[in-house]
Amino acid sequence: MKIYAVVMAGGVGSRFWPRSKEKTPKQLLKIFGENTMIQDTVKRLKGIVDDENIYIITNKIQKAGILTQLPYLPIENIIEEPFGRNTAACIGLASVIIQHKDPDAVTLVLPADHIIEGKKEFHDTLLEAAEFADRGRGIITIGIPPTRPETGYGYIQIDEVGVLDHIFKVLTFAEKPNYATAVRFVDAGDFFWNSGMFIWRTDVIIDEINTYMPELYEGLIKIKEAIGTSDFQSVLANVYGKLKKISIDYGIMEKSKKVYLIKGHFSWSDVGSWETVYELSSKDEDGNTKVGNIYTDMVVDSYIYSPDKFTAVIGLDNLIVINEDDALLICKRDKSQDVKKVVDYLKYNKITDHI
Amino acid sequence: MKIYAVVMAGGVGSRFWPRSKEKTPKQLLKIFGENTMIQDTVKRLKGIVDDENIYIITNKIQKAGILTQLPYLPIENIIEEPFGRNTAACIGLASVIIQHKDPDAVTLVLPADHIIEGKKEFHDTLLEAAEFADRGRGIITIGIPPTRPETGYGYIQIDEVGVLDHIFKVLTFAEKPNYATAVRFVDAGDFFWNSGMFIWRTDVIIDEINTYMPELYEGLIKIKEAIGTSDFQSVLANVYGKLKKISIDYGIMEKSKKVYLIKGHFSWSDVGSWETVYELSSKDEDGNTKVGNIYTDMVVDSYIYSPDKFTAVIGLDNLIVINEDDALLICKRDKSQDVKKVVDYLKYNKITDHI
């Protein structure tokens, strides 16, 4: 069994404004520690997937940054989508490229911008899922046992009579719930957070695309036939131009009868907002995380990032401060989801300098 | 009667950090509207004091900025103190210089960094006080009828049997009171805010200095004798080097038996903190004052100054934000007195870039 990985790195992460921009989206930032999120994501695969089998799927704007940050990956493994067409097309494209190279490939699909702690448990989960997938039994999603009634994640319900110890048949996918529903999900015990990470044999997912998304399949076959020819870029652009924006969850996972879930017994977060960054960061005795030369007086439970400018904060709590060269964000922590509205505002008003 | 003015511009205004710095203290900043505070202070004298009779007393660091901001004043009227020695020495120095020019001068002494609205009432007050002073009857301070139990000002108690309609004998000076005392002062009706503005004949204040501060008087006589000679700077430095730092209030006003008060029936503020700036600024319908390109969402009653950087504020109230090129302040409004502690911190840690 040879394992491949597809790291999806197309998003902008507008809730991470003003640090994330089109050219420097969330996955290309050093949000925790020394490495960028995509560097951590790739590094985390060491020991399971050889570098030559790691593919990054991204867009024109981010490609240069990715090449710089991951110089040890083969340049041809950085796949550039001509347009964003959501995850079904993205995964389909990567799948035909990998299948062209290795018809028996088992592929891990991972977002570039998640935080995972517990590398051994993560590897164990991936390997167990890969072995299951290699036997052609189905497509597997990683479900995280919920530790709180989080309303920011989708949930997956399993049939508790599992096929193997840790691998279960999926009953339903549930969108992000309201709080009461989330509490019910957590109490029920058979609901798991949808991590957006998948494992499958490449031929199996392509078959499922053929069954549930025949238009996409037809396009992917055209693309596959053009691989290695001088027409590849024009065929790719032509096919992509006609595709609908459909997620893999909506297009395949919610319909396929071959969907399984493996429980991920490692610490996981999709790092959805500055609030999550605050929660995951190490804090001083006042509950503050400070990056830069920061003076605080009567300040608690705050995340203050101002690496290039001396900053004084006085008499405030539960604050997010992100001071970038070109823009400043000051936000109450529980309003950190509203940061994306700033990006909407800037786009609407065509103030493109800061996005 | 010829009226002279001495504008005292030596302070740093550390509560206005990070806008006020040693080189650009509060009085040299455009805090309200088009003019700097010292420009407004000098402009406000137009019609009462001729430009050639307006003196600014300042220090080496601020002198260049003052010359630039007030180019229409005679250069020799910008008096540079070799060291800061508090207001008694400052006023004494200006007084001997003016007396050397005009032994009969009546002088107004004004801080450079106060806000006054109601120019006619201000002029009426100054003229009435100047006429009283010109008759050699005493030294006059302007008292502002208190409109609230402010704990940030000193108070002056009068003898309500006045000499003239608006001019009263002063009974006592009171330091900044606690809240309960301030309430009592305001209720009593015979206490007024100490504005720090004075009117006197120059020879009268010099006589009072002779009586109550003989060491200062002795030094001032040496300085006066050196005026116009090549020794002036060295004599000044030599005398100043030996002077104690004593305020005019402590050195003279609280002891002199010739102190009078004229009620100032105009709007006055010493603009003591960013909170005061917020209060005096015009606000939008959310109670916010915004300077710069500022996005706000769920933000009320805040002062947000960020002229050079796009700034987004979300879900906060009663905030002061001052974003300067080299430093950023974020402060709860009711903690704006604590801004001076940032300057103390920077000085103590010898981080002199930002002060």
Residues B255 and B290 reside in one and the same domain: no
What region does A135 belong to: left with phi over 0, alpha with psi -120 to 50, or beta? alpha
Per CB-CB distance under 8 Å, the chain A contacts of B297 are 335, 338, 341-342
Q: What is the pLDDT of residues B39-78, one digit of tens each?
A: 999 999 999 999 999 999 999 999 999 999 999 999 999 9
Nearest to B99 by CA among B231, B4, B9: B4
> From the list A311, A331, A354, which residue is nearest B315 (CB)?
A331
> From the list B312, B327, B332, which residue is nearest A309 (CB)?
B327
pLDDT recorded at residue B234: 95
> From the list B17, B310, B315, which residue is nearest A335 (CB)?
B315
Q: What is the mean pLDDT of residues B102-106?
A: 96
- The string of DSSP letters for B242-257 reads H-----HIIIIITT-S
pLDDT recorded at residue B161: 77
Contact: B334, A315; criterion CB under 8 Å: yes
Pairing of the two strands A3-8 and A54-59? parallel
Per CB-CB distance under 8 Å, the chain B contacts of A341 are 297
Domain span holding position B150: 3-269
Residues A187 and A296 reside in one and the same domain: no
Evaluate whether B312 touches A331 at the Cβ level (below 8 Å): yes
Contact: A330, B321; criterion CB under 8 Å: yes
Q: Has residue A242 got a pLDDT over 90?
A: yes
From A355's Cα to the closest Cα of chain B, the distance in A is 11
Q: What is the pLDDT of residues B220-258, one digit of tens each?
A: 999 999 999 999 999 999 999 999 999 999 999 999 999
Contact: A314, B354; criterion CB under 8 Å: no
Per CB-CB distance under 8 Å, the chain B contacts of A298 are 332, 335, 338
DSSP-derived letter for residue B336 is G
Evaluate whether A217 touches A206 at the Cβ level (below 8 Å): yes
Query: Mean pLDDT score of chain A, rounded to an integer?
Result: 94
B91 burial (CB, 10 Å; 0-12 / 13-18 / 19+) is buried
- From the CB of residue A133, how many other CB atoms can be counted at a distance below 10 Å? 28
Q: Has residue B166 got a pLDDT over 80?
A: no
Residues A257 and A287 reside in one and the same domain: no
Q: Which of A17, A314, A318, A350 to mutate to test the interface with B (most CBs of B within 10 A)?
A: A314
Evaluate whether B330 touches B339 at the Cβ level (below 8 Å): no
Per CB-CB distance under 8 Å, the chain A contacts of B328 are 306, 309-312, 323, 328
Contact: B312, A353; criterion CB under 8 Å: no
From B320's Cα to the closest Cα of chain A, the distance in A is 10
What region does A130 belong to: left with phi over 0, alpha with psi -120 to 50, or beta? alpha
Provide the number of CB pairs (under 8 Å) joining chain A to chain B: 116
Pairing of the two strands A106-111 and A191-201? antiparallel
Task: Mark which of A234, A269, A304 sits at the end of a domain.
Answer: A269
Contact: B309, A326; criterion CB under 8 Å: yes
Per CB-CB distance under 8 Å, the chain A contacts of B337 are none
Q: What is the mean pLDDT of residues A221-244?
A: 95
- Per the structure, the count of domains in chain A is 2
pLDDT bin (cut points 50, 70, 90) of residue A161 is confident
Residues A178 and A46 reside in one and the same domain: yes
Residues B182 and B281 reside in one and the same domain: no
Q: What is the mean pLDDT of residues A195-219?
A: 97
Residues B259 and B294 reside in one and the same domain: no
In A, minimum Cα distance to B337 occurs at A314
pLDDT recorded at residue B235: 96
> From the list B310, B313, B339, which residue is nearest A314 (CB)?
B339
Task: Mark which of B209, B243, B269 sits at the end of a domain.
Answer: B269
Structure tokens given for B50:
């001729």
ipTM score of complex: 0.87
Per CB-CB distance under 8 Å, the chain B contacts of A351 are 293, 310
In A, minimum Cα distance to B335 occurs at A315
Contact: A330, B309; criterion CB under 8 Å: no
From A101's Cα to the closest Cα of chain B, the distance in A is 48
Contact: B330, A319; criterion CB under 8 Å: yes
* Number of helices followed by number of strands (H, E) in chain B: 11, 15
- The string of DSSP letters for A32-65 reads SSSS-HHHHHHHTTTTTS-GGGEEEEEEHHHHHH
> From the list A316, A339, A342, which residue is nearest B332 (CB)?
A316
Q: Which of B17, B308, B314 to mutate to test the interface with A (most CBs of A within 10 A)?
A: B314
pLDDT recorded at residue B160: 83
DSSP-derived letter for residue B147 is S
Residues B129 and B239 reside in one and the same domain: yes
In B, minimum Cα distance to A337 occurs at B314
pLDDT recorded at residue A164: 67
Contact: A312, B321; criterion CB under 8 Å: no
What stretches of B121-218 adopt beta strand conformation (E)? Answer: 139-144, 155-159, 167-174, 191-201
Residues B168 and B247 reside in one and the same domain: yes
Q: Has residue B162 got a pLDDT over 70?
A: no
pLDDT recorded at residue B53: 98
pLDDT bin (cut points 50, 70, 90) of residue B335 is very high
| CA A35 to chain CA mean position, Å | 16
Nearest to B90 by CA among B239, B247, B203, B221: B247
From B193's Cα to the closest Cα of chain A, the distance in A is 29
> From the list A309, A310, A332, which residue is nearest B315 (CB)?
A332
Per CB-CB distance under 8 Å, the chain B contacts of A315 are 331-332, 334-335, 338
Question: Worst-scoring range by mean pLDDT, A315-324, B162-171, B323-332?
Answer: B162-171
Does B149 sit behind a cis peptide bond, omega within 30 degrees of 0 on the bond before it?
no
pLDDT bin (cut points 50, 70, 90) of residue B23 is confident
Q: What is d(CA A152, CA A176) in angstroms, rounded to the nearest whole number?
A: 6
Contact: B327, A321; criterion CB under 8 Å: no
Contact: B345, A311; criterion CB under 8 Å: no
Say which CATH number the domain at B231 has.
3.90.550.10
Task: Mark which of A214, A236, A269 sits at the end of a domain.
Answer: A269
Per CB-CB distance under 8 Å, the chain A contacts of B309 are 326-328
Q: Has residue B322 got a pLDDT over 80?
A: yes
Q: Has residue A137 got a pLDDT over 90?
A: no
pLDDT recorded at residue A202: 97
pLDDT bin (cut points 50, 70, 90) of residue A165 is low
Per CB-CB distance under 8 Å, the chain A contacts of B316 are 316, 319, 330-332
Contact: A312, B339; criterion CB under 8 Å: yes
Please enumerate in sequence order all residues whose Cβ is within 8 A of that of A214, keeping only pairs 6 or more positions apart, or say none. Answer: none
First to last CA, chain B: 43
Evaluate whether B251 touches B266 at the Cβ level (below 8 Å): no
Contact: B326, A310; criterion CB under 8 Å: yes
Evaluate whether B7 touches B38 at the Cβ level (below 8 Å): yes
Q: Which of A294, A320, A328, A342 to mutate to test the interface with B (most CBs of B within 10 A)?
A: A328
Structure tokens given for A304:
């203050």
pLDDT recorded at residue A162: 63
pLDDT bin (cut points 50, 70, 90) of residue B274 is very high
From A311's Cα to the closest Cα of chain B, the distance in A is 5
- The string of DSSP letters for B94-133 reads HHHHHHHH-TT-EEEEEETT-EEE-HHHHHHHHHHHHHHH
Residues B315 and B195 reside in one and the same domain: no
Long-range pairs, A205-212, Cβ under 8 A, ≥24? A205/A91, A205/A92, A205/A95, A205/A107, A205/A139, A205/A252, A206/A92, A206/A95, A206/A96, A206/A99, A208/A139, A208/A252, A208/A256, A208/A258, A209/A88, A209/A92, A209/A95, A209/A251, A209/A252, A211/A256, A212/A251, A212/A252, A212/A255, A212/A256
Helix ranges, chain A (H): 37-43, 60-69, 86-101, 119-134, 179-188, 202-212, 214-226, 232-242, 248, 274-280, 339-348
Q: What is d(CA B92, CA B339) in angstroms, rounded to the nearest whole number?
A: 32
Q: What is the pLDDT of residues A252-293, one digit of tens each?
A: 999 999 999 999 999 999 888 999 999 999 999 999 999 999
Residues B321 and B248 reside in one and the same domain: no
> From the list B316, B339, B354, which residue is nearest A330 (CB)?
B316
CA distances in angstroms from A89 to A30, A232, A241, listed in the order given: 28, 16, 11
Residues B264 and B286 reside in one and the same domain: no
Q: What is the mean pLDDT of residues A131-138?
A: 90
Q: What is the mean pLDDT of residues B257-285?
A: 93
Residues A245 and A328 reside in one and the same domain: no
The reported pTM is 0.87
Q: Which of A275, A295, A317, A330 to mutate to test the interface with B (most CBs of B within 10 A)?
A: A330
The three state secondary structure string of B41-88 is HHHCCCCCCCHHHEEEEEEHHHHHHHHHHCCCCCHHHEEEECCCCHHH
If interface means Cβ-Cβ distance under 8 Å, which residues of chain A face chain B? 17-18, 293, 295, 297-298, 306, 309-316, 319, 321, 323, 326-332, 334-335, 338-339, 341-342, 345-346, 351, 353-354
Per CB-CB distance under 8 Å, the chain B contacts of A327 are 309-312
